[in-house]
Amino acid sequence: MGRKKQLPLLERITITDIAAEGKAIARTDNRVVFVAMAVPGDVVDIQVRKKRKGFFQGQVVKMHEQSEIRQEPVCEHFGVCGGCKWQMLPYAEQLKFKEKQVRDQLSRIGHIQDPPVQAIMGAKESEYYRNKLEFTFSNKRWLTHEEISSQDGIENRNALGFHVPGLFDKVVDIKKCFLQQDPSNAIRIAVSDFAQNNGLSFFDLREQTGMLRNLIIRTASTGEVMVIVAFFENDQARREMLMNHLHTAFPEITSLNYVINQKRNDTILDQDIICFAGSDHIREEMEGLSFKIGPKSFYQTNSDQAYELYKVAREFADLSGEEIVYDLYTGTGTIANFLASKAKRVIGIETVPEAIGDARLNAENNGISNTDFVVGDMKDVFNESLFNKYGLPDVVVLDPPRAGIHQNVVDVLIKARPKRIVYVSCNPATQARDISLMSQFYYVEKVQPVDMFPHTHHVENVALLTHKKSQI
């Protein structure tokens, strides 16, 4: 068996651009090099880690010259926890690259010449903007180089924080996170300290043992706070000890919940969530509307920018009050109820039954009587029989998961021929693909990127598709 060929070290390479998934780009010998944690203008040495036909993937091993646009990250965990990977980029530069990403993908994947992209809408706040974070307990804390090289024994290996990218069983113990407003940091630290002081074991992902598994914190623009503690071991006495401590120490928690999750994965959508104290939900408000958010409910993770996003969707829908609107992937009915006052009827469709239950309650609590909500897999329930019941759509609003929409949904949309489709997407690549599939019948009238996630490469995008009248 031959020796594995050594991969090259590329010296004094200038970073020139940012790729679609947030990695930096360099070029050498007619080959593209993708590398993380670099900024256009950096001059670096890159150790190639993977060699593919036409491109390399590598890692910066030495910085020769820092880019003029590079800035100092504010977070001490930058580069390790996997979040906020663009903190070294000024926010104005982040927005430029995100807008370019939307343009490039609509052109390259959507085959749209000169796509009508409006200037990206940046976030007012670039820190403390998230309303939901999920932390992981682990007895396999990520160790620093200093700790590993130290001659002193490591007494505490517990962590409550975020997974290290590429290492599923290693977790960074987060000291301070800049993603979520108070009391998020205080609650996380209090839970960790109490657990360690009282002998509550942290989860071992490989062995599937330990008591504490996950901590979910949701904060609302109303000031309400939801906490969900996911336990692996069902130890009632110790569980109640922790929950009572939280209830006493943080009276601002308005919804305190727990779940026993003994599956191999962390998702709790299929588990019974028990309300320990307070309400079983929190509420968001938007333009006088109140939205119930339960433990399993989806809601945009940036409340302020969600409002801006929905205003764009409403503008693009251009409703007169006479339209039948279908809101696909409605979640808790936020968009459906937001549009209801401008439409004749809105029909929302969602896979998660609990979310549909919340959507109906949201409509009822806000005095909205012209919405209907349907539960089921989109590719199975969005069909002719639904149109026979509620009528053909004049306008369709859709906000699918990152994977985009199923071919069945595309086919039904083309057949139904709504005048306008407002496509809200968290993944411009799959959005561009889906738009291309409908391009024979719809043209892209305008596009509005909205930044929901500062310091990441992710961007939300709203595209207005208008039916080609000559095809009707």
> Catalytic residues, which ones?
426
**Cα(26)–Cα(103) distance, integer angstroms:** 20
**Cα(262)–Cα(318) distance, integer angstroms:** 48
Find the radius of gyration of the CA atoms of the chain: 24
91 φψ region: left (φ > 0), alpha (ψ -120 to 50), beta (else): alpha
Bridge partners, 212 (sequence order): 202, 231
- State the alpha helices, DSSP H only, in 113-256: 145-149, 184-197, 236-249
**Cα(122)–Cα(308) distance, integer angstroms:** 10
Do residues 55 and 23 make contact, with C-beta atoms less than 8 angstroms apart? Answer: no
> Could you give the 3-state DSSP secondary structure of residue 276?
strand
Bridge partners, 161 (sequence order): 136, 173
Token digits for 144?
């620093």
